Amino acid sequence: AVQLVESGGASVQTGGSLRLSCVASGDTSSTYCIGWYRQVPGKEREGVAVLYPGDGRTVYADSVKGRFTISRDVANNTLYLQMNSLKPEDTATYYCAYDSLSVAHGVIRFVGGYGSRGQGTQVAVSS
């Protein structure tokens, strides 16, 4: 199984930037889809961004397009989420996910299953 550890969450003001990191350990060679989702207590999980290691294709939720960028450092098995122009509605706990997200009709959904998820890192954006 792949173990994931996120970091980089913090409290920032509106318009600020953060970069989240997710370090993976274990066998990631067969991973099909990696990405980020977020969750606010009492609300459903929201897929934020995914990256397909096979061809490098990326998909973003409409709510973050143009502001967030997902990237990967293959050598260090680290996934990043660069978040710019942050808004209060971006406040959530952000989770890294390997093979736990799917994309249909441009919408990223958390599907769970046998994929791996991290413990989360908290992002708070104040107005």
Residue 70: HSE in the Cβ half-sphere, 13 Å Cα cutoff: 26
74 band by pLDDT with thresholds 50, 70 and 90: very high
Q: What pLDDT score does 30 carry?
A: 87
**Confidence (pLDDT) at 125:** 98
pLDDT tens digit string along 27-61? Answer: 888 899 999 999 999 999 999 999 999 999 999 99
Q: Which band of pLDDT confidence, cut at 50, 70 and 90, is reported for residue 1?
A: confident
